[in-house]
Amino acid sequence: MSHEKQFYINGQWAEPSTTDTVDVINPATEKVVATIALGGKADVDAAVAAARKAFETYSQTSREERIALLERILEVYQRRSAEFAEAITLEMGAPAKLSKYAQAPSGTGHFAAALKALKEFEFEERIGNTLVVKEPIGVCGLITPWNWPINQLACKIAPALATGCTMVLKPSEVAPLSALLLAEVLDEAGVPAGVFNLVNGDGPTVGNAMSSHPDIDMMSFTGSTGAGRQVMKTGADTIKRVALELGGKSANILLEDVDFQKMVAHAVMSCMNNSGQSCNAPTRLLVPNSRMDEVVEIAKAVAAKVKPGAPDAPDTTIGPVASKAQWSKIQDLVAKGIEEGANLVVGGTGRPEGLDQGYYVKPTIFSHVTPDMTIAREEIFGPVLSIIGYEDEADAIRIANDTRYGLSGYVSSADLDRARNVARKIRTGMVHLNGAPLDNDAPFGGYKESGNGREWGHYGFEDFLEVKSIFGYYAES
């Protein structure tokens, strides 16, 4: 890759307006693997101007033209999938197998889901003599995180392209390499000049310039709740639409009739996956108080099989967390759990044995956690599981909903109707029943401080569309 110190603006690789740079650190080695340019307000202005001009023509393209464009993007992306996997492992430390079989393919999944939705989406509706049309909202500002980098890029860029919008992207400066690679893919696939623009930078500079920009019509942000709150505040001055996908503290309720051996193991591995760096991770495991000791023994045995290690090692289960700052935050919260009296089952502070270099975290499980403890309330974003006891089903539902977050939830029962009933009482945007996986065609997003709006599939189109009523359209002439 040769564009680390350039931006992609108006269909060309452009030199930045500043001389500011930041190193990209491989979290497994703590060594610099690239140095990228950091943009300023002038770069954002240039990208927005290009997107605004391109919107005049791209917004008028036909469904068939946009279908053909998404098909070309998919073709190029799939051909370069191995490069995405390598970049993701390098920039944020995902194990090679996870990058190859989950992280990189997530981009294919979202472009394919947007393509499918575009073929079926109803952009017009008749109500009496009125024609209601859904039109592209305009220039979109996209800000994406580092934990599932290509996943978050694709689930914003794909619907923006599908609906006729143009965009300016600021990927995370922690994990920007896969975004630069995607810019190459979009360029090769023939995305018209100005439709897609990329400016690297930090949140206070480039992110703020985007969310406050009068010519950006909509902001789509994925990241921490605190940063999302700032994007919403900054966007308020120009009354732009702001779509947010933020943090989570998802509860995983195991009802007393489940196979505990199976579902506790599933709960532990689901929490540890991607080193715990998933906003929808089931980090609060809710189990009957009467089964707590049994659950602890199963969880302890499963955790022993979670092996932190180098991303390219064949027996590695989890890699490092993405940055030194993230590592330090996790250490502080684990220490807080110990201080507040939670029972440390496995793990704890410090690096795992034998891993003296890299941002590795011990797979950590606490039991006998009470809902008021910090580790039960704050998003840790690391391989840390809190096991919380409940008295009965109503108590489990109360504990699950006792959080400022509302992204996801998990309910398991041998009685599917019972699991369905509990799921309807969980105040979250998503609920998984009996370990059911995600669905790229279904909406992804949360309640409360986990954000607003929805991504993925045809629901992901809505935030990129304005609704217009044309009264009298079907009136007799």
Measuring CA to CA, which residue among 78, 87, 102, 150 is closest to residue 318?
A: 102
122 catalytic, yes or no? Answer: no
Please identify which of the residues 4, 71, 120, 245 carries the catalytic annotation: 245
Please enumerate, as own/partner, the contacts of 209-212 that have beta carbons within 8 Å and a separation of 24 or more: 209/40, 209/41, 209/44, 209/45, 210/44, 210/48, 210/141, 210/143, 210/168, 210/170, 211/141, 211/143, 211/235, 211/240, 211/242, 212/237, 212/238
Main-chain phi, psi angles of 136, to 5 degrees: -60, 140
- What DSSP designation does 47 have? H
Q: Which of 65, 220, 218 is nearest to 154 (CA)?
A: 220
Tell me the angle at which helices 292-303 and 260-272 cross, rounded to the nearest 10 degrees.
50
Cβ contacts of residue 192 below 8 Å, gap of 6+?
A: 11, 54, 57, 58
Phi, psi of 148 (to 5 degrees): -130, 70
Assign 311 to helix, strand or coil: coil
| Residues known to be catalytic | 245
